Amino acid sequence: MKYFVKKTAVLFFCVAVFLISCGKKEKDTSHLNIAVSSYVPYTFAKSVLGDAANLTLLIPPGTEAHAFEPTPKTIKELKRSQIFFYISNTLEPWAQKLDKNAVMLAENLPQVLPQDPHVWMSFDNAEVMTQNLANYIIKIRPDLEIKIKQNLFAFSQEMESLKYLYSNILPTCQNRTIYHIGHLAFGYIARDYNLKFEALFSADMGQEPSAKEIAELVKAIKENKVKYIFSEEQLNPALALTISEETGAEILMLNTIEGISKQDFSEGKTYQALMLENLKNLAVGLECKRQ
């Protein structure tokens, strides 16, 4: 009997330990709730975390990112999250006001163009921003380290592939100027691949182009017999359509990734996929020999 009691006690002890450890284990591997400002940190977080986190995108799909103002809904969404990643104070001055512990990803970047805050358009910067995000998550969730490092390695490989494609295709373009009916968001691509970039709107979209600026761009497009002009989805298409009609140039789209269309969002398009689409359109629009 004594033996049975002892055995039963041991058994209960084991069951209790098992339940506690199960409970603990469940807590350790539970979903992370992460808030991100724009689609840039969203796609980086998805690349390194996969489905290990619930991601909340604060700037809703279909919205122009620079015009975003936080709403009571933003604050509510933020409260449900353990971490909040954003790009930079230049682009999102509202981020640190909402959460003083918000984590800025544009730190220790190898490439900096002071006039262009769209830092992720440099593949080297994209890699560092993703590493920054990954390091932060590993610190608070060491149990995810192996998975994150594997994904980070795959992401770096994809950056190398993109660099290879961009540097093999863009030097073969017959036209070297991107006429963009959009904002100054592609300065890094222009610099890295030796292209000229003429944008109608400023880097922060703060100022509408004047009639004189529009007229000058139309004149340049006509004089250079440009067949393709570029625009971006989160912008009212009226101006690009007018310029297209006036010059006969066809419109191709470029994606800044900071703002994402509802369709691209529902399809879960990655940074890698969107940068590849940008390259395809640049190759057509700049009449590159390699496509």
Q: Please, what is the minimum distance in Å from the beta carbon of residue 115 to Zn ion?
A: 12
The C-alpha atoms of residue 73 and residue 60 are separated, in whole angstroms, by: 11
Report the DSSP beta bridge partners of residue 196.
177
Q: Which residue is nearest to Zn ion (CB)?
A: 185
Instruction: Name which of 141 and 180 has its Cβ closer to Zn ion.
Output: 180
Q: Please, what is the minimum distance in Å from the beta carbon of residue 171 to Zn ion?
A: 26
The C-alpha atoms of residue 254 and residue 201 are separated, in whole angstroms, by: 14
Q: Where are the alpha helices (DSSP H) in the chain?
A: 2-28, 39-49, 72-79, 95-98, 123-140, 145-169, 187-192, 211-223, 238-247, 262-266, 271-285
Q: Please, what is the minimum distance in Å from the beta carbon of residue 232 to Zn ion?
A: 9
Instruction: Name which of 52 and 185 has its Cβ closer to Zn ion.
Output: 185
Instruction: Name which of 83 and 254 has its Cβ closer to Zn ion.
Output: 254
Q: Please, what is the minimum distance in Å from the beta carbon of residue 135 to Zn ion?
A: 26
Q: Are 258 and 38 in contact (CB under 8 A)?
A: yes
Instruction: Name which of 148 and 185 has its Cβ closer to Zn ion.
Output: 185
Lay out the site mask for Zn ion across 158-187 (x = CB under 5 A, - = otherwise).
Answer: ---------------------------x--
The reply to whether 121 sits near Zn ion by the rule CB under 5 A is no
Instruction: Name which of 42 and 148 has its Cβ closer to Zn ion.
Output: 42
The C-alpha atoms of residue 61 and residue 264 are separated, in whole angstroms, by: 9
Q: Please, what is the minimum distance in Å from the beta carbon of residue 180 to Zn ion?
A: 12
Residues that bind Zn ion in the complex, under the rule CB under 5 A: 185
